[in-house]
Amino acid sequence: MSTDFSTRWARAEVHTGLIQHNVAIVKERIGSAQIWAVVKANAYGHGSIPVAQAALAAGATGLCVAVVDEGVVLRRAGITAPILLLSEQPASLAELIVGYELTPTVSTTRGAAVLATAAATADKVVNVHIKVDTGMHRVGVSANEAVSLAQFVKSYESLSIEGLYTHFAVADTPSHPANATQLTAFNEVVDAFTKAGIQPPLIHAANSAAALSNADSRFSMVRLGIAMYGLLPGPGVSEFCAGLIPAMSIKAKVSAVRWVDAGEAVSYGLHRPLEKSSLIATIPIGYADGVPRALFGTGFKVLIHGVPRDIAGTVTMDQIMIDCGNDSSITVGDEVVLIGRQGDEVVTVDQWAAALGTIGYEIACGIGARMYRNYL
């Protein structure tokens, strides 16, 4: 949907050098474990192909995605690194998975059997990762059935067990007791595999928060998502995230200005009458681009001329109006920063998230397909 050019006065700027910086920082902190970069959801809104390329250049050895389409996009861009699908996929996609040499997750015998048939038909041996549910209860084979699933997988010559993994439910709260419970359960599965003579080369459990905060969770590989983008997994791990730098800014230019009288209100619903005559600046970006409609009224501010300014009325699909008070210096074409730095001021994804009662992940992924992404 987005083109390779932009006619719009609104864009995301993605600094691939900062993606590399963030990967390098994590790499230095986690020792010998491999980094597989999580680029699902269009790389958390940053653009999956450039982010994948940057992460691999910075030392990541594999990639992770949520759905088959995301893996196909990367293969078609010429990326040859391993691409792990983070959960079992519909049986109808087995041929596509094998054809594009994606690395499937297996957590059921039925899923394994379908992949084995597709692999055998294509005369290939497919690497798979077995996912174990150790307490999050989203996907994965239960811990006490993991060895028998692995033995079932091993019975197929067309499948090879490359990985064994799990996923934490509360990694962003390192002191939560469930982290230790899940880790113990996972270690017991790893031991049971060893006893059964099955030793997958890649053992992994950690997302960003766990990788940075808990050395015991790193095993031979970590799945690095949010931290690679320079965003916090959660407030509970901020002390472990020092040095990470957000890689994406959202900028627009003022597209129209007008003086609006005291007592008049702005935008759909005419919700907030102005207390005094004010310069209203319109910017051509809206909720279709991922600026949530709910931001109006939260106290959230954007930057113009280095000054934080209020949203004057309801965020519309394609445009937002900004209350510039009595500042008559603002004109069409002036830069507006919605996320990022301007002068001494900075607006962060986490500020948006806090204003909206959500997490940075949701803000970043929400940056829409219509948004042009400029890579620096």
Which residues make up the interface to ligand PLP (CB under 6 A)?
A: 38, 40, 86, 167, 207-209, 223-226, 233
CB within 8 Å of 290: residues ≥ 6 apart: 45, 363, 366, 367, 368, 371
Q: Least distance from C-beta 355 to ligand PLP, angstroms? A: 21
**Residues comprising the chain, all counted:** 376
Rounded CA-CA distance 72/78 in Å is 10
Rounded CA-CA distance 316/291 in Å is 9
Question: Is 251 assigned a catalytic role?
Answer: no
What tokens appear for 124 in the block? 């290939």
Closer Cβ to ligand PLP, 127 or 319, answer by number: 127
Tokens 């307490």 belong to 135
Closer Cβ to ligand PLP, 38 or 51, answer by number: 38
Q: Is 239:200 a contact under the CB 8 Å cutoff? A: no
What is the enclosing helix (H) or strand (E) of 132?
strand 126-133
Question: Is 287 assigned a catalytic role?
Answer: no
Write phi, then psi, for 364 (nearest 5 degrees): -65, -45
In Å, how far from its chain's centre is CA 105? 19
Q: Least distance from C-beta 33 to ligand PLP, angstroms? A: 14
Write phi, then psi, for 334 (nearest 5 degrees): -70, 145
Q: Could you give the angle at the alpha carbon of 124 between the alpha carbons of 118 and 128, nearest 5°? A: 75
Closer Cβ to ligand PLP, 174 or 225, answer by number: 225
Q: Where are the alpha helices (DSSP H) in 122-255?
A: 146-154, 177-195, 208-213
Q: Least distance from C-beta 282 to ligand PLP, angstroms? A: 35
Q: Least distance from C-beta 34 to ligand PLP, angstroms? A: 14
Report how far apart, in Å, the C-alpha atoms of 15 and of each of 1, 234, 277 are: 21, 22, 39
Closer Cβ to ligand PLP, 138 or 258, answer by number: 138
Active-site pick, 40, 251, 253, 301: 40
Closer Cβ to ligand PLP, 29 or 370, answer by number: 29
Q: Least distance from C-beta 7 to ligand PLP, angstroms? A: 33
Secondary structure letter of residue 215 according to DSSP: G
- In the complex, residue closest to ligand PLP by CB: 225
Rounded CA-CA distance 128/116 in Å is 10
What tokens appear for 35 in the block? 């980094």
Active-site pick, 131, 165, 268, 276: 268
Q: Least distance from C-beta 253 to ligand PLP, angstroms? A: 32
Closer Cβ to ligand PLP, 223 or 309, answer by number: 223
Q: Which residues are catalytic?
A: 40, 268
